[in-house]
Structure 1
Amino acid sequence: MTITKERTLAEIVRKDFPILHQEVNGKPLVYLDNAATSQKPLAVLDALRNYYEQYNSNVHRGVHTLSGKATDAYEGARVKIAKFVNANLPEEIIYTRNASEAINLVAYAWGLTHLQPGDEIILSVMEHHSNLVPWQLVAKTTGAVLKFVELTPSEEFDLEQYKTLVSDKTKLVSVVHVSNTLGCINPVEEITEIAHKYGAKVLIDACQSAPHLPIDVQKINCDWLVASGHKMCGPTGIGFLYGKAKILRAMPPFLGGGEMIADVFLDNSTYADIPHKFEAGTPAIAEAIGLGAAVDYLSNIGMEKIHAYEAELTAYLFEQLRQIPEIRVYGPQANSTGGNRAALASFTSGNVHPHDLSTILDQAGVAIRAGHHCTQPLHRYIKAQSTARASLYFYNTKEEIDVFVVALKDAIEFFGGIFG
């Protein structure tokens, strides 16, 4: 009787990602920069190529066959995304260029019309600049006040402090679901429940969770949720905003132009219903279709299966990093199963600059990120000028983690020889 080893998820899917099968600097590529952007499977590449080769046409505006096919595929992708996050209606999904634009849409279309002097907006110190700068601009214009949730000793969202910040003055809570630097998974259901008790609206930044965890906007009960397509196996230049239909319909348009109108006269206009009210101009048609293909790809694997496999990788990554005494990893430490945090590790190594570590690792074919990861306030809070970050996805393997750790040890030893 022959016993065959069960293949890991990565071993099953890696064939679908052409870019992973190459050498960088003479070494097999080990791509560990997935929190910045993910790689694209053939299904997504084929969807983009098929659109441009077979039915490239503008959507909604034509009655000819190609326009009909393009419109069906474009709107079909919206249906897929709605199902992916368990929205009530496809119309609750608004296409945007990225998550940053989605947050800005809410900030300007809702924030400028609903916030008044003295109203409070609660964010956290771990927010990405995309979920910080728009609210700074809106607060400056409206006179609203920004308040910030800090970190627990284990460098997680301080829920107890949050409870002391929320009050009748709170009009909006806008927080990240998963920190792109700390890797902590924030308790968004509880955060939302508490905010709603005070009548506040809630926006969730799901850029680092939608690619890795099952998302259920009805269970979270958030008012808005944003995500970025390129981090979830989709193309660049496309993201989406989920919003409760009643709230979206009450918001004024964000941009004016074609597609978002009902009727236009010389001196006034009326606007289309959602979602088109917020999608002025010719949209990113191919990119939306590509994102729909990415959602199909992820859904066919199963987000629970992706999360479970990544939890294994996370536990293994942290187990290996603990063997390097020079390394300081930020955020909660992964437990034995790895499922208590995201599949990434931001770290420093003594006086060695993260950019130097990244450069040496690149020579070994290992791609990681180094810098402040668009979280400068957080880095000041944790007293780190910058960090190196290795971030995993379901196509990564334990063997790749081994290569990364060996290269990291070599880099630390190299700089130890220089500066020691």
Structure 2
Amino acid sequence: MTTLTEPVPVPGHIPPEAVYDFDLRFDPGLLANPHERVRELLREAPPVFWTPRNGGRWVAIGHREIFDASRDPEHFSSSPMPKAEMEALMASLPADMPRIPQAVPILMDPPEHTRYRAPLQGSFSPKAVQARKESIRELANELIDAVVADGHCDFIPAVAEPLPVRIFLRMMGLPEARLPEFRDLVHEFLAATLSSDIEAALMGRKVADAMLDVIQARREDPQDDLISLLWATEIDGRPMTLELMEDYAVLLFIAGLDTVINGMGFGVRHLAANPELQAQLRADPSLIPDATEELLRRYTFTIPVRRVAQAVELGGWQMLPGDWLALYLPGADLDPREYESPEEFTLKRQGKAHIAFGAGVHRCLGSHLARVELQVLYTQMLERLPPFRLDPQRPAKFHSGNIIALDSLPLRWD
């Protein structure tokens, strides 16, 4: 049985009516059927509330409130602490202490964020992603063909993990043989981010160390990969440093090895539960891009966190500097104030774009890659597998935190 995190005292500036007890990691409803629990939150809790769990933090679940906060880095900062405090903290660390990497540019605000994000844009542009489409298709076919004769599989370890992770490892120039090690490291890192700042910082060092040999090797012997590209990059006229390479590597490692796996898992889970939709998409594959977008909206899964940098009001509540705010994007995309019948999968939904990839300056850099991977996966599964269904004897398993994630999704077919 999972134990909830210990509640903390409610600060004086939090009114009682703003408090709603919700554990972002261990809420039983989230672990049983996450998006149904999100719909329950939208019915029971205000669009923005404060929970005493997970160290105490604000949680925004309303679309309008999340959209506004995402586009206001002046009040809602992506940096874990003010720049001056961060510099003082780093200067105070013992000289013999290993350096703590910072995930660049995701932990930055404009204008710094803009400068440090720019070197990555080309590698994730629509043109660059389209150039990888055929290799994505080949790998998807390889993974699907490996299980088709069995009549069943656990979709997460069999297909959803190795497909985007192997593509990403190739982009980075990291050895595919280390995939299990890297995936374990990602889970450990994400758990640490909801435990304490110290644990998260130490995990950042561990992640950088896991890639350090490849990072250093590409400095002397560049290859056709993202690490080599970054080594050749200058920022503000200054050459790349090992320290900044570690920072970039931590961000790319975490973002590339965990997010789209869950988009695939939730999308295939919906297809497995809806044979009529499978039949419709098999009959007309041109509908798959629309289906991909609606699946992303219906099962949004990421929860970015912001630090309140200046006193501000959001959702009718006053927030103070130092407060933390979780942007619960799954709630935004199921908000009935924004979408008509949001619980329904509507293939040709009109008018309202989802924010599964976020909004504002931190909108997901890898969104083009994720879309292509999802569309290719759905296309190849519908081409190469007979109608597939959920395994009635083995229910899906979930975990939660900064991402609502699927650990296991058993499927069967005839």
TM-score (norm 2): 0.29
Higher normalized contact order (CA 8 Å, seq sep 6+, divided by chain length): 2
Flag the structure with higher helix content.
Answer: 2
TM-score (norm 1): 0.28
